A and B are shown apart, each in its own frame.
Chain A
Amino acid sequence: MKHTYDVIVIGSGPGGLAAAIAAKEHGAEDVLIIERDIELGGILVQCIHNGFGLELFDEDMPGPTYVQHFIEKAKGHGVDTLMDTYVMEITPNRKVFAINKDQGYIELAARSLVLAMGCRERTRAQIMLPGSRPAGVYTAGTAQRFVNVEGRMPGERFVILGSGDIGMIMARRLTIEGAKVERVLEIMPYLTGLTRNYVQCLLDYGITLQKQRTIHRIIGNDRVEAIEAVSVDENWNPIPGTKEDIPCDTLLLSVGLIPENELSKKAGVLLDPVTNGPFVDDQFMTSVPGIFAAGNVVHVYDLVDWVTEAGYVAGEGAAKYAKAQKVSEGEAVPLEAGENIRYVVPHKINKDNLGEELIRLQMRAINPIEERVLVTVENQDGEVVAKKGEPYARPGEILSLAIKPKAFDAVQKAEKLTVHVRER
Chain B
Amino acid sequence: MTQSYDVIIIGAGIVGAMTARFLSKYDLNILWIEKEADIGMGTSSANSALVHAGYNALPGTNKALTNARAVEMWPQLSQQLGIPYQRTGDYVVAVSEADRATLEDLQARGQANGVPGMEIIDGEVMRQREPLIRPDTVAALWVPTGGMGDPFAATVAAAENAVMNGVELRLNTAFEDFIFNCSTITGVRTNQGDFHCRWSVNAAGLYADEIMHKAGVRPEFQIKPRRGEYVILDKAEFQLTQPTILFPTPTEKGKGILVTSTLHGNVIVGPNANFVDSKENKDVTQVGIQEIWSGGKKLVPAINRKHIIAQFAGLRATGNAPTPDSEIDYDQDFIIEIPEEVQGLVNLGGIESPGFTSAPAIALRVIELLENAGESLTEKPDWNPVRVPRPVFRHLSRDEQAALIAKDPAYGRIVCRCENVTEGEIRAEIHAPIPADTYDALKRRTWLGAGRCQGGFDMPRVVGILSEELGLTPEEVTKKGAGSPFLFRKTKDVEHDHLTVQELL
B409:A102 contact, CB within 8 angstroms: yes
Beyond A146-B486, A151-B490, A178-B495: 6 further Cβ-contacts under 8 Å? A88-B420, A121-B456, A128-B308, A141-B456, A152-B490, A222-B480
Among listed B74-82, B263-271, B277-285, interface-contacting one = B277-285
CA distance A217 to B398 in the complex (A): 44
Rounded to whole Å, the gap between the CB of B111 and the closest CB of chain A is 41
Interface residues in B119-178 by Cβ distance below 8 A to A read: none
CA distance A178 to B402 in the complex (A): 47
Which residues of chain B are within 8 angstroms of A103 by Cβ–Cβ distance? 412
Which residues of chain A are within 8 angstroms of B459 by Cβ–Cβ distance? 138, 142
Residue in B456, B460, B474, B490 whose beta carbon sits within 8 Å of that of A123 in the complex: B456
Rounded to whole Å, the gap between the CB of A173 and the closest CB of chain B is 9
A123:B453 contact, CB within 8 angstroms: yes
A243 interfacial contact with B, CB 8 Å: no
Known A101-B410, A123-B454; contact A152-B478, beta-carbon cutoff 8 A: no
CA distance A276 to B420 in the complex (A): 22
Residue in A86, A123, A156, A222 whose beta carbon sits within 8 Å of that of B488 in the complex: A156
Interface residues of A (CB under 8 A from B): 36, 84, 86, 88, 97, 99-105, 120-121, 123-126, 128, 130-136, 138-139, 141-142, 145-147, 149-156, 177-178, 217, 221-223, 249, 262, 265
Please name the residue on chain A nearest to B482 by beta carbon.
Answer: A222
User: Interface 1/0s, chain B 458-488, versus A by CB < 8 A?
Assistant: 0110011000000000110011111111111
CA distance A184 to B418 in the complex (A): 29
Which residues of chain A are within 8 angstroms of B463 by Cβ–Cβ distance? 150
Rounded to whole Å, the gap between the CB of B268 and the closest CB of chain A is 13
A177:B454 contact, CB within 8 angstroms: no
A36:B398 contact, CB within 8 angstroms: no
Among listed B23-31, B309-317, B368-376, interface-contacting one = B309-317
Rounded to whole Å, the gap between the CB of A37 and the closest CB of chain B is 10
Rounded to whole Å, the gap between the CB of A86 and the closest CB of chain B is 4
CA distance A136 to B481 in the complex (A): 13
A150:B460 contact, CB within 8 angstroms: yes
Please name the residue on chain B nearest to A128 by beta carbon.
Answer: B289
B2 interfacial contact with A, CB 8 Å: no
Residue in B280, B454, B481, B488 whose beta carbon sits within 8 Å of that of A155 in the complex: B488
Please name the residue on chain A nearest to B236 by beta carbon.
Answer: A262
Residue in A36, A84, A88, A222 whose beta carbon sits within 8 Å of that of B483 in the complex: A222
Known A105-B405, A130-B284, A133-B312; contact A120-B457, beta-carbon cutoff 8 A: yes
Residue in A135, A149, A177, A265 whose beta carbon sits within 8 Å of that of B478 in the complex: A135
CA distance A97 to B478 in the complex (A): 35
B453:A86 contact, CB within 8 angstroms: no
Rounded to whole Å, the gap between the CB of B475 and the closest CB of chain A is 7
Please name the residue on chain B nearest to A151 by beta carbon.
Answer: B491
A105:B456 contact, CB within 8 angstroms: no
Residue in A133, A146, A156, A178 whose beta carbon sits within 8 Å of that of B460 in the complex: A146
Interface residues of B (CB under 8 A from A): 232, 236, 280-286, 289, 308-312, 398, 401-402, 405-406, 409-410, 412-414, 417-418, 420, 452-457, 459-460, 463-464, 474-475, 478-496
Residue in B454, B475, B481 whose beta carbon sits within 8 Å of that of A152 in the complex: B475
| 6 residue pairs bridging A and B, Cβ less than 8 Å apart | A121-B456, A130-B283, A132-B283, A141-B456, A142-B459, A262-B418
Residue in A102, A124, A133 whose beta carbon sits within 8 Å of that of B412 in the complex: A102
B484:A222 contact, CB within 8 angstroms: yes
Which residues of chain B are within 8 angstroms of A121 by Cβ–Cβ distance? 453, 456
B401:A99 contact, CB within 8 angstroms: yes
B490:A36 contact, CB within 8 angstroms: no
B464:A150 contact, CB within 8 angstroms: yes
Which residues of chain A are within 8 angstroms of B478 by Cβ–Cβ distance? 135
Please name the residue on chain A nearest to B486 by beta carbon.
Answer: A135
Which residues of chain A are within 8 angstroms of B454 by Cβ–Cβ distance? 123-125
Please name the residue on chain A nearest to B398 by beta carbon.
Answer: A105
Which residues of chain B are within 8 angstroms of A125 by Cβ–Cβ distance? 232, 308-311, 454
A104:B405 contact, CB within 8 angstroms: yes
Which residues of chain B are within 8 angstroms of A126 by Cβ–Cβ distance? 308-309
Which residues of chain B are within 8 angstroms of A86 by Cβ–Cβ distance? 413-414, 417
Rounded to whole Å, the gap between the CB of B185 and the closest CB of chain A is 31
Known A125-B309, A150-B464; contact A101-B284, beta-carbon cutoff 8 A: no
Residue in B283, B413, B464 whose beta carbon sits within 8 Å of that of A217 in the complex: B283
Which residues of chain A are within 8 angstroms of B484 by Cβ–Cβ distance? 134-135, 222-223
Please name the residue on chain A nearest to B493 by beta carbon.
Answer: A153
Which residues of chain B are within 8 angstroms of A155 by Cβ–Cβ distance? 488
A154:B479 contact, CB within 8 angstroms: no
A131:B487 contact, CB within 8 angstroms: no
Residue in B414, B456, B483, B494 whose beta carbon sits within 8 Å of that of A142 in the complex: B456
Rounded to whole Å, the gap between the CB of A395 and the closest CB of chain B is 19
A150:B283 contact, CB within 8 angstroms: no
Which residues of chain A are within 8 angstroms of B409 by Cβ–Cβ distance? 101-102, 104
Please name the residue on chain A nearest to B460 by beta carbon.
Answer: A145
CA distance A136 to B405 in the complex (A): 34
Please name the residue on chain A nearest to B401 by beta carbon.
Answer: A105
Rounded to whole Å, the gap between the CB of B136 and the closest CB of chain A is 28
Which residues of chain B are within 8 angstroms of A177 by Cβ–Cβ distance? 491-492, 494
CA distance A311 to B443 in the complex (A): 36
A97:B483 contact, CB within 8 angstroms: no
10 cross-chain pairs, A with B, having the tightest CB-CB distances, nearest first: A178-B494, A222-B483, A135-B479, A105-B402, A101-B409, A101-B412, A123-B454, A135-B484, A222-B484, A86-B414
